[in-house]
């Protein structure tokens, strides 16, 4: 019933419809009729008996028979009453155009909560607020106020779009039309008070008119619905591609203010998409051009991260190879047929070899100026090639006719080397939805948690998870036997940065020096000190930061990066959804650039990467402890191969009581 009301409503009420064509509230009726809607329209306007030549109704209660969809066009102050009337009338779905809700501050958020409660009490679903509506070009249903619908003859296609932004709905519609194709369905979700992009994506998985699902996202609300959609899409063989804002702090801030989005870590969003099987692209053009690369394909089980390039233009081929290189994607071989010309048999032979090559994942054809003036001849070899590997094509000139030929053949065609490389990178990063490993028995770690966890307490929790803790709590007056030299650290609930505060002493040679160091710290720091811990000094192959936190958008994540001061300087950090297996942890280790020496770069001594992977997997199991908000070991010292890893500094932050 929801899918019918959302995608193919036959009886639509336009609440607040207007006859004034200059007003936004008139557009939905105009566009529905302009694009051939054959269902029943019911304009609702208490001041007019007729709207745009059609009978109007004073109230939604006056409309005879059932209503599939109500598009509420009234101003913010009238929305609450309109929602109540629609819910009382038994409307299954209402779409709200107005803004001024959660994105506008606390009062707007409270109003949004009230209208949602009213809708739920009446069994009605909501799209929006701040939604520009729904367009189903295959059913000639343009229930939207987006100005892109001024265009005549928009073509229907077989990809569907779900967009947080109403203006981007129009952008994608117009850019697709300029490229000669269209969409099956385009839905604007706005603030997502109720229906979210994840839930709508799941509905589109069941839509026989949709072969690929494209998402434009400003945030991630209700991540479990995205995961459910991605799993169903993977099972159905329908790819989901996402373009999400928030790569920069400025972009994240604007997304936050636009639709009341909550800002989380963008790296966490990357980890989330990777884990659930959604391919993330970095360019808007890629979102429009990449789908044929994914349609009919499955994520590669072990990508080589290499391509073969066949080009009829040396410069064009070099542009693609160069851009791929910035993404750590190798070119196994480039065949330049420039001197041989773009002869069909030459290009077919080269591409067939590339599409079957065991040293690469994808074949890329690069076509020069002939694509602009002789599309059939220029693309004959590309269209005639076959092979198990997917094929992408970059056209160096502006060649719209050639791009349409590629689209008709189901081949991804790209206008720029940047979008081509971005699509290839997204395809090679694409993975099937993962099944998280079992958390195991966490009772010992859980028993050690408290509202205020000091460093010895944090170390005890990590030890209960399976990490090696070599630190001991000491009595300054009678320190236990220790393997000197040792590092001494004050235990304090109030000192955040111990080194800067003088709460750390290194290379203490013997018991007398240890007593003296304890006395000096006590005198300097006073009541801030609640005790001392000491541990043997060790020299490792590398230092890492190993962290855990509950991301506000996607949930538990584990992070691994170059440690110590390098963590803040270089931000060389890899994130994954928690928990992870030790095999997944080893893959994380391989991605941290700063760990190249520990991996044996240029015959340097290898670190104990197996022990590090064990530690990463162990810390990731904190995902099963709701009482933990954040945790960090920085640095975790990686000893030579076979000698383990050592915690140098550890902390755990408890979650607020209401979030446990």
C-alpha R_g of the chain: 30
Query: Which of 260, 255, 1 has its CA nearest to residue 123?
Result: 1
Task: Please name the helix (run of DSSP H) or strand (run of DSSP E) that holds residue 521, with its range, or none.
Answer: helix 511-525
Query: Partners of 144 in the beta sheet?
Result: 133
Share of the chain above pLDDT 70, in %: 96
pLDDT given at position 256: 42
List pLDDT tens digits, range 452-508.
789 999 999 999 999 999 999 999 888 889 999 999 999 998 887 788 899 999 999
Residue ranges of domains in the chain, CATH in brackets: 2-281 (3.40.50.720), 299-429 (3.40.50.261), 471-536 (3.30.1490.20), 542-659 (3.30.470.20)
pLDDT band for 290, please (50, 70, 90 cuts): very high
Average pLDDT value for the chain: 94
Q: How do beta strands 390-395 and 412-414 pair?
A: parallel
Q: Average pLDDT in the 71-82 region?
A: 98
Q: Average pLDDT in the 87-91 region?
A: 98
Half-sphere exposure of 466 (CA within 13 A, CB side): 17
List pLDDT tens digits, range 554-594.
999 999 999 866 666 777 899 999 999 999 999 999 999 99
List pLDDT tens digits, range 131-182.
999 999 999 999 999 999 999 999 999 999 999 999 999 999 999 999 999 9
pLDDT given at position 451: 73
pLDDT given at position 567: 66
pLDDT given at position 255: 47
Q: What is the DSSP letter of 282?
A: S
pLDDT given at position 566: 66
pLDDT band for 340, please (50, 70, 90 cuts): low
Share of the chain above pLDDT 90, in %: 88
| Total-model pTM | 0.93
Q: Average pLDDT in the 395-401 region?
A: 95
Query: Which of 429, 436, 537, 562 has its CA nearest to residue 482?
Result: 537
Read off φ and ψ for residue 60, nearest 5 degrees: -65, -25
List pLDDT tens digits, range 407-442.
999 999 999 999 999 999 999 999 999 999 999 999
* Cα–Cα distance for residue pair 215/254, rounded to 1 Å: 18
List pLDDT tens digits, range 191-226.
999 999 999 999 999 999 999 999 999 999 999 999
pLDDT given at position 496: 76
Query: Partners of 560 in the beta sheet?
Result: 546, 574
pLDDT given at position 265: 80
* Chain-centroid distance, C-alpha 46: 45
pLDDT given at position 524: 94
Q: Average pLDDT in the 272-301 region?
A: 98
Helical pair 400-408 and 375-384, crossing angle rounded to 10 deg: 30
pLDDT band for 260, please (50, 70, 90 cuts): very low
List pLDDT tens digits, range 359-368.
999 999 999 9
Q: Strand, coil or helix: what is 156? A: strand
pLDDT given at position 261: 45
More confident residue, 247 or 442: 442
């Amino acid at each position: 019933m929801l899918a019918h009301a959302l995608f193919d409503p036959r009886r639509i009420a336009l609440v607040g419809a207007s006859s004034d064509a200059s007003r936004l509230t008139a557009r939905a009726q105009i566009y529905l009729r302009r694009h051939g809607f054959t269902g029943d329209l019911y304009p609702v306007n208490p001041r007019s008996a007729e709207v745009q030549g059609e009978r109007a109704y004073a109230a939604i209660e006056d409309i005879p028979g059932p209503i599939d969809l109500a598009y509420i066009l009234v101003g913010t102050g009238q929305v609450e009453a309109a929602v109540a009337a629609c819910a009382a009338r038994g409307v299954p779905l209402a779409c709200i155009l107005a803004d001024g809700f959660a994105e506008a501050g606390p009062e707007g958020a409270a109003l949004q909560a009230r209208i949602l409660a009213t809708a739920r009490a009446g069994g009605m679903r909501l799209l929006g607020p701040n939604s520009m509506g729904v367009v189903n070009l295959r059913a000639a249903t343009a229930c939207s106020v987006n100005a892109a619908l001024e265009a005549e003859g928009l073509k229907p296609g077989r990809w569907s779009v779900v967009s947080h932004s109403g203006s981007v709905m129009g952008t994608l519609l117009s850019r697709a039309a300029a490229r000669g194709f269209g969409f099956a369905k385009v839905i604007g979700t706005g603030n997502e008070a109720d229906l979210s992009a994840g839930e709508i994506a799941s509905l589109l998985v069941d839509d026989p008119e949709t072969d690929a699902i494209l998402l434009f996202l400003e945030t991630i609300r209700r991540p479990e619905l995205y995961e459910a959609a991605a799993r169903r899409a993977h099972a159905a063989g329908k790819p989901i591609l996402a373009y999400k804002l928030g790569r920069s702090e400025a972009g994240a801030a604007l997304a936050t203010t636009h639709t009341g989005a909550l800002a989380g870590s963008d790296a966490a969003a990357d980890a989330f998409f990777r884990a659930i099987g959604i391919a993330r692209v970095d360019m808007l053009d890629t979102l429009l051009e990449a789908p044929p690369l994914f349609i009919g394909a499955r994520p590669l089980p072990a990508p080589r991260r290499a391509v073969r390039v066949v080009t009829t233009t040396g410069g064009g081929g070099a542009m693609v190879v160069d851009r791929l290189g910035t993404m750590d994607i190798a070119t196994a071989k480039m065949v330049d047929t420039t001197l041989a010309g773009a002869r069909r048999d030459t290009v077919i032979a080269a591409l067939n070899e590339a599409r079957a090559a065991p040293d690469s994942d994808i074949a890329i054809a690069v076509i020069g100026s002939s694509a602009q003036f002789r599309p059939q001849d220029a693309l004959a070899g590309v269209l005639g090639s076959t092979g198990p590997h997917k094929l992408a094509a970059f056209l160096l000139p502006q060649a719209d006719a050639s791009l349409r030929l590629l689209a008709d053949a189901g081949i991804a065609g790209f206008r720029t080397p940047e979008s081509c490389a971005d699509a290839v990178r997204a395809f090679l990063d694409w993975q099937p939805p993962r099944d998280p490993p079992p958390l195991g028995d966490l009772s010992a770690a859980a028993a050690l948690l408290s509202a205020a966890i000091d460093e010895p307490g944090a170390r005890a929790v990590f030890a209960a998870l399976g990490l090696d803790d070599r630190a001991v709590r000491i009595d300054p007056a009678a320190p236990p036997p220790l393997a000197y030299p040792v590092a001494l650290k004050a235990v304090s609930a109030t000192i955040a940065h111990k080194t800067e505060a003088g709460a750390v002493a290194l290379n203490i040679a013997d018991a007398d020096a240890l007593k003296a160091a304890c006395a000096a710290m006590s005198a300097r720091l006073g009541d801030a000190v609640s005790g001392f811990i000491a541990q043997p000094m060790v020299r490792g192959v590398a230092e890492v930061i190993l962290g855990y936190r509950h991301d506000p958008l996607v949930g538990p994540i584990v992070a691994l990066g170059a440690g110590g001061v390098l963590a803040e300087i270089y931000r060389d950090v890899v994130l994954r959804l928690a928990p992870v297996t030790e095999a997944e942890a080893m893959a994380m280790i391989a991605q941290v650039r700063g760990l190249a020496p520990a991996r044996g770069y240029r015959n340097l001594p290898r670190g104990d990467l197996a022990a590090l992977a064990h530690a990463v997997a162990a810390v990731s199991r904190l995902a099963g402890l709701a009482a933990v908000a954040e945790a960090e070991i920085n640095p975790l010292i990686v000893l030579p191969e076979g000698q383990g890893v050592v915690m140098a500094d550890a902390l755990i932050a408890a979650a607020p009581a209401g979030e446990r």
